[in-house]
Structures are given as C-alpha cells and as structure tokens.
A and B are shown apart, each in its own frame.
Chain A
C-alpha cells in the first residue's frame, strides 16, 4: 500500500475510518492456539466476555469459532472456560496439522 502524501491526508492526524485496526492482523503473534471442542461448547459466553481481542466469533448467541487473524494466543479463554472445552495447542503443531490436511 502506497503511503499518502501530506496533501492527501486529513489534517490534524485524525483517523476517520473507525475500527480500522481490524486490517492489522495480530494472529502472527500467537505461540499457542485455542481449539474449541464445538460439540461440547455451551455458548455460555464466558470466553467472549474475557477475550482481550474480542476474538470469539458469535452468531445468534452461539459461539462459532475464534478469529485467528487476531487471536494472540494468550490462553485466557482456555483457562476460564467453565466446561473446559477449549484447549491450547502449539501453533506450530496446529499449522503442521493444517498443512497436512
């Protein structure tokens, strides 16, 4: 992406596109990846309320997955999950698994 010249940028350093940081992917920070056992997930939303990234994907009050583009792999969800259905796996292992498929 070509950076804009001073003539093209809005003055005052203001950012007009709210929430634009979604384009900045922090998933690459991850050393461990949370895996949800979707069959046993109760959608209690405890992981959702505690996720620092807002990375728990939800549709109609049901957990549908994790935003791996942004998940930093902190592991809060796995530790706090009441039915203990989220486990952390090594990112390297997970990536190898994906490639294997």
Chain B
C-alpha cells in the first residue's frame, strides 16, 4: 500500500478557508497562488474558465505572471517550452483537441526536461465533436513523457495543482506534469473546498532554480540539438529514470502536503479494500460514484472494494498489484478506448502489474462514460454483481465490456 498517513502534528497544519468553487475556478485560484512567471494558454471548452479566470488575476495585478494569450494550443505549449527553457516557472491549461494539437510539442517539453505544469479538464476527442468528459485526450498522450495525476473532486484538483509543481521541479524528476480533472463534472461542478492561505502556498512551493537556462548568456547552452544513433537512446533512458524516480517523489510530496493540510496524497486511495473479495479500479470523478456503490454492496453483505488511481503516469505498478493481491475478481474502468488493443489503457497497466507480481485475480475491463455519458451508482453496482458472478462461478466471460451503452 503506498498511502502514507499522518506523521505530522495537527497543530502544524494551516487553517484552510472553506469556499464553494468549481474545479476550473479552484485551479485558476491555485495558479494565482503559485504566481507562475509565464502562463501561455488558449481557450477551449471546458478549460476556458481556467484561462479566463486567470486572465482576471492578471488584469487586476494579482499575479506577476507574463500572460501570453497565444493563437493556438500548439503555440501555447511552444511558448511554454521557450519560457521554461529560459529558466522560470511556467504553466498552461488545455483539454481535448487542444491537447491533441499540442501532441508534437508535448514530447519536446518532456524530452527537454522542462517542469511545465498543465491543468487539464479532460474531454472527448472528435469526431463527432463532443465537449464532455472522457479521458481520451490524456490517454492519447500517455506515452508523451508527462506525469499524469487525476482528481476525484474539486478539492483534489486544487490540491494536485500545488503538488504537481513540486513533483515536476524535483531534481530527481524534472518532467512536466499534467494534473487532470474531469471536464464539466469537476471543472464546472461547484463544491465546497478549503483554500490554502497564500503564504502557505508560497512556502510550500518555495523557489525554483533551473539547472540550465537560455537566459544565462554567460554560460551559453544548446537546447534541443540533433541527437542521432549514438546518443538518442541514452537520453530516452534518462527520461525513464526521471519517471521511475517520480514514484517515490509523488509520495514524498503527498506526505508533505498532508502534513501541511491534513489531506494526504499518494498514488492510490483504497476504499473498503482491506477485506474485499471483488474490486473496481477507477480514476477521476467516478471514484466518488463508485464509493456509493461499494457502500450499497457492503450493506448487502458483499465484500466489495474500490481502488482509486490518482497517478496514471508513472503507473504505480507494484502498489496496484499489492493492493489487489487479495481480491478474486477485479473490474478496471476505463474512460477511453485504446482502439484495436486487447483492453483499454488503465486495464492494460493493471493487468501487466498483476501478471508481473504473480497475483492472478480475474480481471475484466469496462469502458464507461465516453463523451460525458453519465455513469450512475446503480450502473456500478451491476459491475460488482458481474464480479460477484465471476468470483463465484470462475467464469470470466467477455474481457472488455461497455457500461451504460445501448446494445
């Protein structure tokens, strides 16, 4: 289990300010508190509210940020790359087609080891055009070398924003991070959350000293050279190292953040999983819905549990395998399709983790919620019912299923 619990004293904690905000505004608020040196961004539904709220902070002089209102998402990431290589703190935000348009330069950002922070309000990809939530955008970028951290609710979206910065800038990591929240569901859902005092944020994020900077004209460095057969492979291996080391860093920062706020974070959040016989693995807002289903199942005496995944990249394989070691049947819920693959992104990683660990529960995959299709607690109870059947009969049935789809 990767979740580490409080060691810090409650009296060290800062007093949060309760407030009602939607996820987009909460993240914009976090960006204000982090006061990045440069933000370059382009509006796209449902991320727009982040950009326009942040623009107001700029217009009112509440941040020192140089805000670059670019002409496209590709330009947003391109400007972020130039700005980050120039040695300061850089953030942006996007979703869906915007992230797809950035695709080429997402790789450049991670390969140049630039700790850029990107808020993502996850949304479906065209065609047909759909502005609502699924995870197709970020899953499309899963191999782009970015860390991906997901929120269940507005509070987590807000909290993740600060931790993303600390993780990205950690000397062992030095990789960009996207912190994701479900488009509309979280980004436009108003919830109660606690805001940190500005001073506490300032202290938590500290200052950033770049290893190399374009603006260090006394020590001119060449960024992004041509890298051929004799060195490219080594540079890619270094990125793997950063990703692997991020596993420990995510937990370290989550612990530190917990000591500050009382809200502890790791890679995973298990819910009633200790003695569970059947379990669901899910990421994002649907984890909240799943908890309701778990409780319903428990009321019926069924040992159902949930494993909420917070970090998708790096994938916490060992922790996932350990968490699921005791269950006999698992359903992995994916809010994206990996077309033509034997199962979908999270499922693939969960299966690999289990296989490598030697644990052999039956595992099935459910695609759910594409294009913002609502996923209800009662639908999820049907998944648990399926799992129960698999556990009892030993008959796995279809590997990939579709939840909430009209057949």
Direct contact, A vs B (beta carbon within 8 Å)? yes
Interface residues in chain A, defined as those with a beta carbon under 8 Å from any beta carbon in chain B: 3-6, 9-16, 18
Query: In the complex the two chains form, is A6's CB within 8 Å of B238's CB?
Result: yes
Q: For the complex, give the distance between the alpha carbons of A12 and B227 in Å.
A: 11
Q: For the complex, give the distance between the alpha carbons of A6 and B240 in Å.
A: 11
Which listed residue (B174, B225, B231) contacts A11, Cβ 8 A? B174
Query: In the complex the two chains form, is B234's CB within 8 Å of A12's CB?
Result: no
Tell me if A's interface is mostly helix, strand, loop or mixed.
loop
Query: In the complex the two chains form, is A18's CB within 8 Å of B222's CB?
Result: yes
| B residues 195-222 touching A (CB-CB < 8 Å) | 211-212, 219-222
Question: Beyond A12-B238, A14-B223: 4 further Cβ-contacts under 8 Å?
Answer: A9-B231, A11-B211, A13-B112, A13-B224
Chain A residues with Cβ below 8 Å from B112 are: 12-14
Q: What are the nearest 5 A-B pairs in CB distance?
A: A12-B113, A6-B234, A15-B222, A6-B237, A18-B220
Q: For the complex, give the distance between the alpha carbons of A16 and B211 in Å.
A: 11
Chain A residues with Cβ below 8 Å from B222 are: 14-15, 18
| B residues 211-261 touching A (CB-CB < 8 Å) | 211-212, 219-225, 227, 230-231, 233-235, 237-238, 241-242
Tally of A-B residue pairs with Cβ under 8 A? 54
Chain A residues with Cβ below 8 Å from B242 are: 11
Q: Mark B29-57, 1 if CB is under 8 A from A, else 0.
A: 00000000000000000000000000000
Q: For the complex, give the distance between the alpha carbons of A6 and B112 in Å.
A: 15
Task: Assess A4 versus B220: contact at CB under 8 Å? Given A11-B242, A16-B212.
Answer: no
| B residues 76-116 touching A (CB-CB < 8 Å) | 111-114
Query: In the complex the two chains form, is B223's CB within 8 Å of A6's CB?
Result: no
Query: In the complex the two chains form, is A6's CB within 8 Å of B221's CB?
Result: no
Chain A residues with Cβ below 8 Å from B111 are: 12-13
Query: In the complex the two chains form, is B234's CB within 8 Å of A14's CB?
Result: no
Query: In the complex the two chains form, is B238's CB within 8 Å of A9's CB?
Result: yes
Q: For the complex, give the distance between the alpha carbons of A10 and B212 in Å.
A: 10
Interface centre among A10, A11, A12 (most CB of B within 10 A): A12
Query: In the complex the two chains form, is B234's CB within 8 Å of A11's CB?
Result: no
Q: For the complex, give the distance between the alpha carbons of A73 and B238 in Å.
A: 40
Q: For the complex, give the distance between the alpha carbons of A9 and B112 in Å.
A: 13
Which listed residue (A3, A4, A14) contacts B221, Cβ 8 A? A14
Task: Assess A13 versus B220: contact at CB under 8 Å? Given A4-B234, A6-B238.
Answer: no
Q: How far is the CB of B63 from chain A (nearest CB, A)?
A: 28
Chain B residues with Cβ below 8 Å from A6 are: 233-235, 237-238, 241
Chain A residues with Cβ below 8 Å from B219 are: 16, 18
Query: In the complex the two chains form, is A13's CB within 8 Å of B221's CB?
Result: no
Q: How far is the CB of B221 from chain A (nearest CB, A)?
A: 5
Chain A residues with Cβ below 8 Å from B224 are: 13
Chain A residues with Cβ below 8 Å from B174 are: 11-12
Which listed residue (B114, B212, B235) contacts A9, Cβ 8 A? B235
Q: How far is the CB of A26 from chain B (nearest CB, A)?
A: 16
| B residues 146-178 touching A (CB-CB < 8 Å) | 174
Which listed residue (A3, A4, A13, A18) contacts B227, Cβ 8 A? A13
13 example contacts (A-B, Cβ-Cβ < 8 A) are as follows A3-B230, A6-B234, A6-B235, A11-B113, A12-B111, A12-B223, A12-B238, A13-B224, A13-B231, A14-B222, A14-B223, A16-B212, A18-B222
Task: Assess A13 versus B230: contact at CB under 8 Å? Given A6-B235, A6-B238.
Answer: no
Task: Assess A11 versus B221: contact at CB under 8 Å? Given A3-B231, A16-B212.
Answer: no
Q: How far is the CB of A17 from chain B (nearest CB, A)?
A: 9
Chain A residues with Cβ below 8 Å from B241 are: 6
Chain B residues with Cβ below 8 Å from A15 are: 221-222, 225
Q: For the complex, give the distance between the alpha carbons of A9 and B238 in Å.
A: 9
The chain A residue with its CB closest to the CB of B237 is A6
Q: For the complex, give the distance between the alpha carbons of A15 and B113 in Å.
A: 13
Q: For the complex, give the distance between the alpha carbons of A5 and B230 in Å.
A: 10
Chain B residues with Cβ below 8 Å from A9 are: 231, 234-235, 238
Q: For the complex, give the distance between the alpha carbons of A4 and B223 in Å.
A: 18
Chain A residues with Cβ below 8 Å from B231 are: 3, 9, 13
Chain B residues with Cβ below 8 Å from A12 are: 111-114, 174, 212, 223, 235, 238
Q: For the complex, give the distance between the alpha carbons of A9 and B114 in Å.
A: 16
Chain A residues with Cβ below 8 Å from B233 are: 6
Interface centre among A4, A5, A15 (most CB of B within 10 A): A15
Q: For the complex, give the distance between the alpha carbons of A11 and B223 in Å.
A: 11
Query: In the complex the two chains form, is B221's CB within 8 Å of A18's CB?
Result: yes
